[in-house]
């Protein structure tokens, strides 16, 4: 298509998120007519063989094993951070100081203090930045945003979100190391609060505005696990489950829950909003549908409608196949890159910026504080 400006990408990390991002960079220009074209310049991973294999598979023209070398390279415009959470802050700050654009996988930092430094760094470097909260870009969720913004729901009373998984129930699962660093608080920052609730909080505030106060409870069900790197049995300090009540600034009430101990659920992200005039429900396991109830429908035929979000006038869908045919998880990342490239061409920020994502970290911070204090906590704004 019409892309005529190269955007040379240096990716850090070649795990699950490195794959979703690389796939998105590689496909975006085939489906979206945007001015910029990502060029897969280099991938960086500590393990040489993994970096090389990843570069070969995804089409990166080179690889590095030290992110500092990647950041120093003159032939890279954008640093994309898809490595474990304990690396985000240092890399993002260095990349911004080197004048690179920066994209970062969620959560931004391990805690709000790290995220504040990251937001300050990209702002003082005046460099484009964005955090990969991909679920905003599920067409059904983007449609929900349009419906809320059009005022169709009327006054919002309730917001409800859950993100349920079951992959850490076994006590034999070690903490730390490849893939399992999410169980090690020193690397991840927190457990499900930063990993799963962060998605729910980001979408919630995007749809329904800022969260003012929270009261939370967390639990660590498995108290000790062997550590994949040290080989020792160590105390587990992540939250395995986290649930909280919240009050939004607009007066609506909310419940949020995330766990990795909901046997049978693999990635069940659900959200529901109830307004005076209409309600919506969405479910990641059925991601192309938006359930919609409009109270202004004639009574005899009033009921929940299961909208199939696959038509050309639905968000993002005109870029894909023909009406009625579904897209999936990988496309949310392609949409996010397309939005970033469009924002770049127009000189506007791409949402969520580091500053916007910091707001999510302030909510996560208040959640963990409240679980500790047993009290309602104010969310920093
Ligand atoms: C954890 O299992 C995880 O992969 C999260 O890290 C992602 O952000 C989420 O989208 C799916 O689950």
pLDDT digits (tens, 9 = 90+) for 117-162: 999 999 999 999 999 999 999 999 999 999 999 999 999 999 999 9
Same domain, residue pair 311 and 188: yes
- Give CA angle at 221 (217, 224), nearest 5°: 125
Same domain, residue pair 253 and 113: no
Same domain, residue pair 201 and 214: yes
Q: Which residue has the least CA distance to atom 8 on ligand 1? A: 195
Mutation choice for ligand 1 from 104, 135, 195, 197, CB with most ligand atoms inside 8 A: 195
Same domain, residue pair 292 and 356: yes
Q: Which residues pair with 307 in a beta bridge?
A: 290
Q: In terms of residue numbers, what domain contains 209?
A: 135-378
| pLDDT score at 2 | 72
| pLDDT score at 1 | 63
Same domain, residue pair 121 and 159: no
Q: Which residue has the least CA distance to atom 11 on ligand 1? A: 267
Residue 109 contacts residue 118 (beta carbons within 8 Å): yes
Nearest atom (ligand 1) to Cα of 135: 10
| pLDDT score at 116 | 98
Looking at the structure of the chain, the number of domains it has is 2
With a cut of 70, list the residues of the chain below it in pLDDT: 1
Last residue of a domain, one of 80, 106, 133: 133
pLDDT digits (tens, 9 = 90+) for 239-251: 999 999 999 999 9
Calculate the CA dihedral of residues 213, 284, 264, 23 and round it to 10 degrees: -110
Same domain, residue pair 151 and 285: yes
Nearest atom (ligand 1) to Cα of 260: 2
Same domain, residue pair 126 and 170: no
Report the CATH number that the domain containing residue 191 is assigned in CATH: 3.30.360.10
Report the CATH number that the domain containing residue 97 is assigned in CATH: 3.40.50.720
Same domain, residue pair 97 and 171: no
CB under 6 Å to ligand 1: residues? Answer: 165, 195, 199, 267
For ligand 1, the distance from its centroid to the CA atom of residue 192, given in whole angstroms, is: 9
For ligand 1, the distance from its centroid to the CA atom of residue 286, given in whole angstroms, is: 17
d(CA 105, CA 300): 47
Same domain, residue pair 162 and 286: yes
Last residue of a domain, one of 133, 156, 190: 133
List CB contacts of 151: < 8 A, sequence separation 6 or more. Answer: none
d(CA 151, CA 213): 24
For ligand 1, the distance from its centroid to the CA atom of residue 227, given in whole angstroms, is: 21
For ligand 1, the distance from its centroid to the CA atom of residue 195, given in whole angstroms, is: 6
| 141 closest CA partner among 239, 42, 208 | 208
Longest dimension (CA), the chain: 66
Same domain, residue pair 145 and 121: no
| pLDDT score at 334 | 98
Same domain, residue pair 105 and 167: no
Residue 38 contacts residue 5 (beta carbons within 8 Å): no
Same domain, residue pair 240 and 252: yes
Mutation choice for ligand 1 from 187, 267, 364, CB with most ligand atoms inside 8 A: 267
Last residue of a domain, one of 109, 133, 157: 133
């Amino acid at each position: 298509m019409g892309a005529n400006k190269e955007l040379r990408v240096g990716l850090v990390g070649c795990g699950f998120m490195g794959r979703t991002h690389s796939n998105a960079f590689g496909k975006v220009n085939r489906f979206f007519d945007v001015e910029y074209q990502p060029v897969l310049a280099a991938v960086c991973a500590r393990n040489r063989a993994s970096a090389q294999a990843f570069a070969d598979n995804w089409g990166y023209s080179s690889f590095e094993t030290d992110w500092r070398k990647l950041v120093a390279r003159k032939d890279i415009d954008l640093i994309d951070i898809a490595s474990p959470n304990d690396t985000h802050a240092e890399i993002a700050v260095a990349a911004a100081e080197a004048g690179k654009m920066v994209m970062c996988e969620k959560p931004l930092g391990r805690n709000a203090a790290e995220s504040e430094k990251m937001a300050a760094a990209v702002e003082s470097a005046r460099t484009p930045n964005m955090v990969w909260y991909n679920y905003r870009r599920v067409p059904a969720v983007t449609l929900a945003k349009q419906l809320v913004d059009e005022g169709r729901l009327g006054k919002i009373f309730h917001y409800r979100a859950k993100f349920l998984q079951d992959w850490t129930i076994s006590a034999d699962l070690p903490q730390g190391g490849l893939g399992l660093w999410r169980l090690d608080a020193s690397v991840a920052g927190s457990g499900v609060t930063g990993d799963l609730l962060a998605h729910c909080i980001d979408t919630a505030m995007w749809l329904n505005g800022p969260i003012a106060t929270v009261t939370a409870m967390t639990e660590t069900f498995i108290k000790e696990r062997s550590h994949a790197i040290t080989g020792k049995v160590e105390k587990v300090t992540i939250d395995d489950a986290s649930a909280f009540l919240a009050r939004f600034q607009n007066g609506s009430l909310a419940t949020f829950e995330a766990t990795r101990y909901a046997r049978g659920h693999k990635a069940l992200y659900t959200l529901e909003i109830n307004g005076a005039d209409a309600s919506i429900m969405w479910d990641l396991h059925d991601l192309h549908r938006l359930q919609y109830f409009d109270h202004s429908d004639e009574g005899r035929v009033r009921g929940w409608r299961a909208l199939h979000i696959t038509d050309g006038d639905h968000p993002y869908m005109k870029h894909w196949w023909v009406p009625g045919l579904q897209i999936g998880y990988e496309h949310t990342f392609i949409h996010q890159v397309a939005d970033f490239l469009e924002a770049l061409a127009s000189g506007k920020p791409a949402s969520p910026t580091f500053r916007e994502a910091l707001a999510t970290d302030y909510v996560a911070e208040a959640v963990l504080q409240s679980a500790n204090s047993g009290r309602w906590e104010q969310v920093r704004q």
